[in-house]
Amino acid sequence: SNWLPFLVWFQFSNSHMFINDVFTSCGQWLEDQTKKLHKDMKKSTEADLAMSKAAVKISADLLSNPLCEQDQAFLDSMNALDTAMKRMDSFNQEKVNQIQKTVIDPLKKYSGVFPSLNMAVKRREQALQDYKRLQSKVEKYEEKEKTGPVMVKLHQAREELRPVRDDFEAKNKQLLDEMPKFYHSRIDYFQPSFEALIRAQVVYFTEMYKIFNDLTDQIDQAGLTDEQRERETEAKLSELRALSIVADD
């Protein structure tokens, strides 16, 4: 079926009041969503970077501990782990840089447009109010008996009205022109960002697989399920607990 995105119906008539509502609520919604996404992306990226750095610290601290030197095989394993973590961190940094340029910055720029648009909507509404006010003034004089002073006042009122009406029409036309286009433009605007997000992650996880697949072959016992690992760990802890020096008397 033919899904049309976000259907907005507003009456196609002469009344302008509701147009303000459309602009305001539609714009507000889009503004809220882009701001939220921007915030979430930023926080997510920060957490991502922090995680990677924490992983590097795990291996680096161990490597600098004299424990490592006690056994050559253990030292080799620690070195391999440390190398792997550092490489992953550098891939992660690259991924984050790409995301910053193609996703986070564009999101921010997009949000930055809303103050201008919101101001434009406000100014249009103000212009509308001025227009209505002066229009009603003109009508007031048009209804009166056509005496000389009245005609003069009428002429003046009309003169005053004209530029204000023109101003409103210009603002109105521009918004009616730009707002739907702006709203629709989000698709083309954000499409590359999403593709970039996906691609960056594909590259990162592909590297991660290669690096950790090799490392696991090197430093991990092959063919262990999680249950087996837990059992081995428990066995070792039991061995330790059985020692007299461990019991705290």
Partner 1 sequence: MEVPRRLPPSSFTLTLPKPAASAPASFVPEKDPEEEENLREEDEAGEETFISTEEAEPGASVVERSNSNLSSRDSFSEESGGPMSEERLAPEADEETGRKCEEEERAAAKERAAQRQLMAIEELVQSERNYLRLLQLSTVTIRGNLLKLQPPLLNLNRMFLHVDEVMDASSRLLSLLDQKRVRPGDPLFLQTLCESFLSLSSDIEAAYKEYLANYNHITVVENSYKQREGLWNEIVRVIKASAPEVNATSLTFFLVMPVQRIARYPLLLQTIQKHTDPAHPAYALLEHTAHTSIALNCGINEYKRFREVADKYKKTETLTIKDKINRLNSHSIAKKTARLSQQIKHETGITPKLVDEEFDALQDFFYVLEHGILELLENVETYLHHLQGFLACRTEEFDLDMDGEKAPICYKEITTALRQWILPTFEKRMRTLIHRPLCALRDLLVGPRNLIRKRLDKLLDYELIEAKSNLSYEEHAVANTYRTINTLLLNELPQFNGVALQMIWSMLGTFSCLHRDLASDMEQLFQSFAQQLPHSSLSPGAFWEWAESMALEGARRLETLCRSVEDTLNAPVVQPLSPSSQRRLKQLMDKHGSGKIWQAAAAVVSSRDLDLNLAKGELVAVISEMDTRGDRRRWLVDAGGRRGYAPSSKLIRYHQPAEDPPPSPHLTLPDGVTGIRRHSYSPGSRPLTSQPCFQVMAAYDFAARGSHEVSLRAGERVRVLEPHDKRGNPEWSLVEARGGQRGYVPSNYLTLMPLGVGVGPPGSYLPH
Q: Does 13 sit near partner 1 (CB under 8 A)? A: yes
Looking at beta carbons, which pairs linking 33-42 to residues 24 or more positions away fall under 8 Å?
A: 34/107, 34/110, 34/111, 34/186, 35/111, 37/107, 38/104, 38/107, 38/108, 38/111, 41/99, 41/103, 41/104, 41/107, 42/104
Query: Binding to partner 1 (CB under 8 A): which residues in 32-61?
Result: 33-34, 36-37, 40-41, 43-44, 46-48, 50-51, 54-55, 57-59, 61
Q: Does 90 sit near partner 1 (CB under 8 A)? A: no
**Residue whose token pair is 């303000």:** 20
Query: Binding to partner 1 (CB under 8 A): which residues in 157-216?
Result: 158-160, 162-167, 169-174, 176-178, 180-182, 184-199, 201-203, 205-206, 208-209, 212-213, 215-216
Nearer to partner 1 among residue 8 and residue 147 (C-beta): 8
Q: Does 11 sit near partner 1 (CB under 8 A)? A: yes
d(CA 34, CA 103): 11
d(CA 49, CA 55): 10
Among candidates 120, 127, 107, 122, which has minimal Cα distance to 45? 107
Q: Does 241 sit near partner 1 (CB under 8 A)? A: yes
Rounded to a whole number of angstroms, the minimum distance from the CB of residue 145 to partner 1 is 14
Nearer to partner 1 among residue 149 and residue 186 (C-beta): 186
Among candidates 210, 206, 183, which has minimal Cα distance to 117? 183
Q: Does 65 sit near partner 1 (CB under 8 A)? A: yes
**Position among 21, 90, 152, 231 found at the interface with partner 1 (CB under 8 A):** 21
Q: Does 128 sit near partner 1 (CB under 8 A)? A: yes
Q: Does 126 sit near partner 1 (CB under 8 A)? A: yes
**Position among 79, 83, 120, 150 found at the interface with partner 1 (CB under 8 A):** 120
Nearer to partner 1 among residue 46 and residue 90 (C-beta): 46
d(CA 193, CA 106): 8
Rounded to a whole number of angstroms, the minimum distance from the CB of residue 138 to partner 1 is 9
**Which CA distances in Å does 115 have to 134, 136, 171, 208?**
28, 32, 16, 42
Rounded to a whole number of angstroms, the minimum distance from the CB of residue 38 to partner 1 is 10
Q: Does 237 sit near partner 1 (CB under 8 A)? A: yes
Q: Give the Cβ contact number of residue 111 at 10 Å.
A: 19
Nearer to partner 1 among residue 90 and residue 191 (C-beta): 191
Quick check: helix, strand or coil at residue 244?
Answer: coil
User: Exposed, middle or buried by CB within 10 Å (0-12, 13-18, 19+), for 23?
Assistant: buried
